[in-house]
Structure 1
Amino acid sequence: MSMPSVVLHPVRLQIVQALLGEELTTHQLHRRLPDVPIATLYRHVAQLVRHELIEVAGEQQIRGASEKTYRLAAGFANPTAEELAASSSEELLTAFTVFTSGLIRDFGEYLGGDGRDLAADRVSFAQADFWATDEEVDELTGALMEALVAVRAHAPGEGRRRRKLTTILVPRPEPGAEGSA
């Protein structure tokens, strides 16, 4: 079974989404996915482990039984440039689907909360087309990373909320080129 077909099963995709940036036990996963029977959840977790998409992050004894904590496999969570370059289009689309579905989940959780105020909470999402050379894109990326490093150094404190910044940078087709809109 290929990586895309393993991940794109609805239950396995939910498990992967739940593990984005988290380490959870099967029971914690079950609390997040209450519509999935526990036996089904165990079976899908085992399949994700077998295909090395998730891994055991830790194990502890609870009342004589072993309880495992799972996380996304390092290569799946943060693929290297070489791994991405070696991936098929189908594998890349699967990875991007998991990534974007995690964004959808995060936004859904925000919308489900009480007292949401998009303006006061500084929520935004937008797209901006621009023209730039590779060097200018590298300069933009460097400036963004420099600013991000500064704010990531902040410790939790009064008035600070944990926030998530997501960027996606893709080239657009040349105007008039085949496939451009």
Structure 2
Amino acid sequence: MTHLDLLVHPVRSRIIGALAGRTLTTRDLARALPDVPVPTLYRQVRILDEAGVIVRTGEKKVRGGMERSYTLAEGGGTIDGDMPFSADQRVGMLANFCNVAVHAYRTYTESGGQEMAWAQMRSLYLTEAEAETLRQSLRDLFAPYQSNGPGDDRKRRIVAVMDQPDFEPTPEEEP
């Protein structure tokens, strides 16, 4: 299994998203992903653990079994954007990204959450250099908040930003 296949998977990618920036037990993961059957969840956690994408941070005995805690390994959920990907792989990565965000919001609303998701889409004309400057500006904007932990009236939020080229049809030449 390639690293891309490992990460771009409907359940494994949601586990990675749930563990980003925090430690959860397998029971916590089951509550965070209520639509995933428990045996499937445990199998996918094991695959991610064996691949080094997530790391076990603790273990305690609970009702005759062992309950493990996991967190995302350093760089564990990262896909190297410089690698060559086919059109299908690129579309699959984007669809997977959107799937993770939608499932997370669905779980939030189905658990009684009332806050609306905020989303905006803008079309910008940018050179490659300007697009990279924009991406770096966004990384810089998020940086001061990355180390915030729970507490102080904070709640975990998913902030998803996407940058993609848009299709520009060219005028057809008349015969």
Q: 1:66 to 1:91 in 2, by over 3 A?
A: farther
1:60 and 2:59 equivalent? Answer: yes
Match of 1:107?
105
User: Within 5 Å, which residues of 2 pair with 1:23-38?
Assistant: 23-34=23-34, 36=36, 38=38
Q: Give 2:130's aligned residue.
A: 136
**1:130, distance to aligned residue in structure 2 (A):** 1.6
Contact 1:54 1:71 in 2 (8 A): no
Alignment partner, residue 165 of structure 1: 159
Within 2, Cα distance between the matches of 1:115 and 1:27?
Answer: 20
CA 1:28–1:101 in structure 2 vs 1: closer, same or farther (change >3 Å)?
same
How big is each residue's C-alpha offset from its partner over 1:72-121, in whole Å with a ceiling of 9 and x where there is no partner? 44444134xxx322253355544434432221123224433647354xxx
- 1:41 matched to which residue of 2? 41
Equivalent residue, structure 1, for 2:121: 127
* CA shift for structure 1 position 142: 4.6
Counterpart amino acid of 1:133? T
From 78, 83, 91, the equivalent of 1:86 is 83
Decide whether the 8 Å contact of 1:56 with 1:68 is kept in 2: no
What TM-score results when the alignment is normalised by the length of structure 1? 0.62
Deviation at 1:176, TM superposition (A): 0.6
CA distance in 2 between partners of 1:111 and 1:30 (Å): 16
C-alpha spacing 1:3/1:134, structure 2 compared with 1 (3 Å): closer
User: How far apart in 1 are the matches of 2:95 and 2:52?
Assistant: 15
Q: What RMSD, in angstroms, separates the aligned Cα atoms of the two structures?
A: 4.0
Q: CA deviation at 1:125?
A: 1.2
TM-score (norm. length: structure 2) = 0.63
Structure number with the bigger relative contact order (C-alpha 8 A, sep ≥ 6) is: 2
The superposition leaves residues 116-142 of structure 1 with CA deviations (integer Å, 9 ceiling, x where unpaired) of 354xxxx42121112122343344345
- Across the two proteins, how many residue pairs are aligned to each other? 169
- Note closer, same or farther for the CA distance 1:88–1:161 as it changes in structure 2 (3 Å cut): same
Question: Residue by residue, what CA displacement relative to the aligned partner does 1:18-51 show, whole Å, maximum 9, x if unpaired?
Answer: 334443222322333456554443333223334x
- 3-state DSSP class of the match of 2:164? coil
